[in-house]
């Protein structure tokens, strides 16, 4: 009896192994996603019947999953028909770098430059030709692009002055449009706006190439690779991170901000020092993704700072500054905010500013001067589409405040207060969300 069971078991094993061998042969013969080119065969060169010749092969084929069809835009990507990755990425916006000969041992890495909406892509160990702009391909919103896009020539739309307002009343600036006759019109959905390439010939004869890609906004990037291409998938930050904060150290580079006589103390340096102390605290906090407009002495434009906050849909946008006034008796902390956000039901600019003052009041050593609405003439506030607060920590023009601001201990306390304010803000948001769910 036992012997019969063993024989039956061995027979099943032989049958399964035979099926696997046939299946492997079939897979090698017909790779996943392979398609017959649309070419009319010449007489005597007709293609063979691709259908299985035996019942067993037919059974195996019926059990195999049907290949997922690719969108038409992917047809121009090398290897897309036989590689698995394009099917995984087919519904995403993707930058595709097409490999040539000599890329077998090459290595690629990315550097994110979120403030300037750029990524730096470096490929080392190239034993062939460097990538051309034409090998930088993109699939964006179902459309295929390659190479460097043309430069747009926006045409502003005239904005008439409302009849019930005085002609001197400022009105929102017109949003430029792209004419359908502009060569850039068909490129509007392309996420790549510029390509700059540099190459270095290494001592071993290999090439190192760096591509600086300027994009339409800041993304989260995922890198994939197969034998045909490198794939950089572009993901909306909010789809990756549950909590996002943008911290801005005001001024920087040639923009020194407020100066103390003799240039001994500059606002840009104090702002940056406070932010770097805050960075140490935030980077140690799990679950919060923080973008910094600058962590060194350079000057992002005001547009770049606010674009970053809007691009990543930040929960909080905090800009750190110091104040100054010809009236040297003025002193204390002010927090600037956008009163237009008051109608927002959840977290808004005013509430974020209030939380900052609550956390700094009596803790940092500065007088609490209250909140100041400044959406009318301050770009950081005016164009932010997220909860924004610009904190003026103290007055460099005031002797008492200056004495505090130049102390490391004070800057650390300010950083700690700002850190607590961000945590406090998230606590309120979570509580508000829980209460909203209960009402539902």
Residue 198 or residue 167, greater confidence: 198
What average pLDDT does this structure show over 208-221? 98
Q: How confident is the model at residue 184 (pLDDT cuts 50, 70, 90)?
A: confident
> Which pLDDT score, from 0 to 100, does residue 180 have?
80
- As a whole-number percent, the residues of the chain with pLDDT over 70 amount to 77
Same structural domain, 264 and 367: yes
Same structural domain, 260 and 124: no
Q: Of 235, 257, 285, which residue constitutes the final position of a domain?
A: 235
Give the range among 120-129, 252-261, 414-423 with minimum mean pLDDT: 252-261
pLDDT at 348 over 50: yes
pLDDT (tens digit, 9 = 90+) per residue, 286-327?
A: 999 999 999 999 999 999 999 999 999 999 999 999 999 999
Give the range among 37-41, 99-103, 130-134, 369-373 with minimum mean pLDDT: 37-41
pLDDT (tens digit, 9 = 90+) per residue, 269-285?
A: 999 999 999 999 999 99
pLDDT at 47 over 60: no
pLDDT at 387 over 50: yes
Q: What is the CATH number of the domain that holds 431?
A: 3.40.630.40
CA distance 359 to 416: 9
Same structural domain, 228 and 248: no
Sheet containing strand 192-201, edge to edge, reads: 107-113, 118-126, 207-215, 192-201
Residue 26 or residue 122, greater confidence: 122
Same structural domain, 341 and 263: yes
Give the domain range for residue 138. 72-152+174-235
What average pLDDT does this structure show over 19-42? 42
pLDDT (tens digit, 9 = 90+) per residue, 388-408?
A: 999 999 999 999 999 999 999
Same structural domain, 215 and 114: yes
CA distance 5 to 77: 53
Residue 6 lies in a domain: no
Residue 35 lies in a domain: no
> Which pLDDT score, from 0 to 100, does residue 27 have?
46
Same structural domain, 283 and 370: yes
Same structural domain, 204 and 278: no
Residue 186 or residue 132, greater confidence: 132
Burial classification of residue 317, based on how many CB atoms lie within 10 Å of its CB (0-12 exposed, 13-18 middle, 19 or more buried) = buried
Q: How many domains does the chain have?
A: 2
- As a whole-number percent, the residues of the chain with pLDDT over 90 amount to 68
Phi, psi of 163 (to 5 degrees): -65, -30
Residue 199 lies in a domain: yes
Residue 29 lies in a domain: no
> Which pLDDT score, from 0 to 100, does residue 154 have?
61
Same structural domain, 315 and 413: yes
Same structural domain, 104 and 250: no
Q: Of 193, 220, 235, which residue constitutes the final position of a domain?
A: 235
**By the 8 A CB rule, do 282 and 288 touch?**
yes
Q: How confident is the model at residue 418 (pLDDT cuts 50, 70, 90)?
A: very high
Same structural domain, 282 and 342: yes
> Which pLDDT score, from 0 to 100, does residue 334 have?
97
Same structural domain, 301 and 323: yes
Residue 44 lies in a domain: no
Residue 329 lies in a domain: yes
> Which pLDDT score, from 0 to 100, does residue 29 have?
42
pLDDT at 196 over 70: yes
Residue 10 lies in a domain: no
Q: Of 187, 208, 235, which residue constitutes the final position of a domain?
A: 235
> Which pLDDT score, from 0 to 100, does residue 163 have?
43
Same structural domain, 277 and 133: no
> Which pLDDT score, from 0 to 100, does residue 36 have?
30
Q: How confident is the model at residue 17 (pLDDT cuts 50, 70, 90)?
A: low
> Which pLDDT score, from 0 to 100, does residue 347 have?
96
Residue 190 lies in a domain: yes
Q: How confident is the model at residue 63 (pLDDT cuts 50, 70, 90)?
A: low
pLDDT (tens digit, 9 = 90+) per residue, 88-134?
A: 999 999 999 999 899 999 999 999 999 999 999 999 999 999 999 99
> Which pLDDT score, from 0 to 100, does residue 160 have?
45
């Amino acid at each position: 009896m036992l012997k019969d069971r063993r024989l039956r078991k061995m027979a099943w094993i032989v049958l399964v192994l035979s099926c696997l061998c046939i299946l492997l042969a079939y897979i090698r013969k017909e790779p996943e996603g392979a398609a017959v080119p649309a070419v009319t065969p010449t007489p005597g060169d007709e293609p063979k019947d691709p259908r299985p010749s035996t019942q067993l092969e037919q059974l195996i084929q019926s059990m195999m999953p049907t290949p997922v069809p690719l969108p038409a835009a992917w047809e121009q990507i090398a290897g897309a028909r036989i590689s698995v990755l394009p099917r995984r990425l087919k519904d995403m916006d993707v930058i595709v770098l097409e490999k040539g000969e000599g890329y077998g041992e090459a290595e690629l890495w990315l550097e994110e430059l979120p403030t300037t909406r750029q990524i730096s892509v470096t490929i080392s160990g190239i034993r062939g030709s460097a990538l051309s702009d034409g090998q930088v391909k993109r699939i964006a919103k179902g459309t295929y692009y390659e190479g460097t896009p043309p430069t747009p020539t926006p045409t502003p739309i005239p904005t008439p002055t409302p009849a019930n307002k005085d002609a001197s009343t400022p009105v929102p600036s017109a949003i430029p449009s792209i004419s359908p006759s502009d060569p850039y019109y068909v490129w509007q959905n392309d996420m790549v706006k510029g390509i700059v390439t540099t190459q270095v010939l290494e001592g071993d004869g290999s090439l190192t190439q760096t591509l600086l890609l300027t994009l339409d906004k800041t993304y989260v990037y995922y890198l994939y690779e197969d034998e045909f291409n490198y794939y950089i998938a572009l993901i909306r930050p909010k789809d990756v991170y549950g909590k996002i904060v943008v911290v801005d150290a005001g001024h920087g580079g040639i923009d020194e901000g407020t100066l103390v006589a003799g240039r001994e103390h500059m606002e840009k340096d104090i702002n940056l020092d406070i932010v770097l102390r805050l960075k140490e605290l935030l980077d140690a906090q799990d679950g919060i993704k923080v973008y910094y407009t600058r962590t060194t002495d350079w000057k992002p434009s005001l547009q770049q700072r606010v674009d970053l906050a809007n691009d990543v849909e930040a929960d909080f946008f905090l800009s750190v500054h110091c104040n100054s006034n010809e009236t040297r008796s003025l002193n204390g902390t002010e927090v600037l905010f956008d009163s237009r956000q008051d109608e927002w039901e959840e977290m808004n600019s005013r509430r974020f500013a209030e939380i900052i003052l609550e956390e700094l009041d009596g803790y940092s050593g500065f007088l609490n001067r209250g909140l100041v609405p400044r959406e009318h003439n301050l770009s950081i506030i005016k164009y932010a589409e997220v909860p924004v607060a610009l904190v003026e920590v103290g007055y460099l023009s005031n002797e008492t405040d200056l004495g505090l601001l130049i102390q490391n201990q004070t800057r650390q306390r300010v950083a700690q207060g700002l850190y607590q304010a961000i945590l406090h803000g998230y606590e309120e948001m979570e509580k508000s969300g829980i209460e909203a769910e209960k009402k539902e």
